[in-house]
Amino acid sequence: MARNSWLFILLIVVFGLSGCGTRVFDGQQVNKEEKIIIKFSHVVEENTPKGLAAIRFANLIRERSGGSIEVQVFPNSQLFKDGEEFEALSRGDVQMIAPATSKVSQLFPQWQIWDLPYFFSNLESVHQIMDG
């Protein structure tokens, strides 16, 4: 039951955030020769785990798309401050953000569990909850 609950929450977040953008892409609307640009904004420095993951993500997308998709990473609040990112996403000013779980839990209270101190006794219990 817990696994289904977490899967449902994850689906809500993914579909909720993907619906915030204003541009729609599919094979009929985009010239296959045209490069797709994705602006990815986050508020931490490049040398943090989140910053390094964003750079790795951009590199993987470029490699696996053969260069037809470019993820432009804007770290350290270059485009938007922490409280402005969700609004920028909903306006279509950026296509991706990497908010803290505390920001996501303002929209989806179920996410507050990830910010509870000492809720998980060890890494294995985290995996057990995440994997059901």
Range of 119's domain?
101-132
Residue 12 placed within a domain: no
Higher pLDDT, 5 or 90: 90
Q: Looking at the structure, tell me whether residues 76 and 132 fall in a common domain.
A: no
Handedness of CA 58, 3, 10, 77 (dihedral sign): negative
Per-residue pLDDT band for 92 (boundaries 50, 70, 90) equals very high
41-69 residues labelled b (16+ CB within 10 A) or e (exposed): bbbbeeeeebbeebbebbeebeeeeeeee
Residue 72 scores a pLDDT above 60: yes
Per-residue pLDDT band for 94 (boundaries 50, 70, 90) equals very high
Residue 43 placed within a domain: yes
Residue 27 placed within a domain: no
Q: Looking at the structure, tell me whether residues 88 and 117 fall in a common domain.
A: no
Contact 38, 96 (CB under 8 A): yes
